[in-house]
C-alpha cells in the first residue's frame, strides 16, 4: 500500500518538474509560442521587451525567461 502511494507521489513530482523545465527557443519558435510575427519578436527585442541571448548572429530565448517577462515577474537567478 505504501509503495503505491510513493509511486503516485514520485510520478506527480516528475510531471510537475517536466512542466517547469526550461526550453531554449529560436526566433521562429518564440514567434509561434507568442502568436507574433518574426519581425514583431525582433522589434520587441530591440525595445528590451523580451529577454534574449545572442550567439553571433542568432537570437535564443529561454521559455522560463519569456514567461516571467510576460507575467511581469522578476526572474531570480541562483549562482
pTM: 0.66
Could you tell me the domains of the chain?
25-79 (1.10.1660)
The Cα-based distances of 34 to 4, 12, 13, 16 in angstroms read 40, 28, 27, 22
- % of residues, the chain, pLDDT over 90: 44
Tell me the average pLDDT of the chain: 83
Residue 49 is placed in which grid cell?
A: 521587451
pLDDT in tens, 12-38: 776 776 666 788 999 999 999 999 999
Residues 39, 36: Cα–Cα separation, whole Å: 8
Contacts of 20 (CB under 8 A, 6+ apart): 64
Amino acid at each position: 500500500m505504501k509503495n503505491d502511494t510513493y509511486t503516485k507521489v514520485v510520478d506527480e513530482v516528475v510531471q510537475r518538474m517536466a512542466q517547469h523545465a526550461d526550453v531554449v527557443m529560436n526566433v521562429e519558435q518564440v514567434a509561434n509560442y507568442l502568436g507574433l510575427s518574426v519581425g514583431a519578436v525582433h522589434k520587441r527585442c530591440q525595445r528590451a521587451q523580451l529577454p534574449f541571448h545572442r550567439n553571433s548572429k542568432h537570437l535564443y530565448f529561454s521559455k522560463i525567461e519569456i514567461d516571467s517577462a510576460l507575467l511581469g515577474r522578476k526572474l531570480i537567478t541562483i549562482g
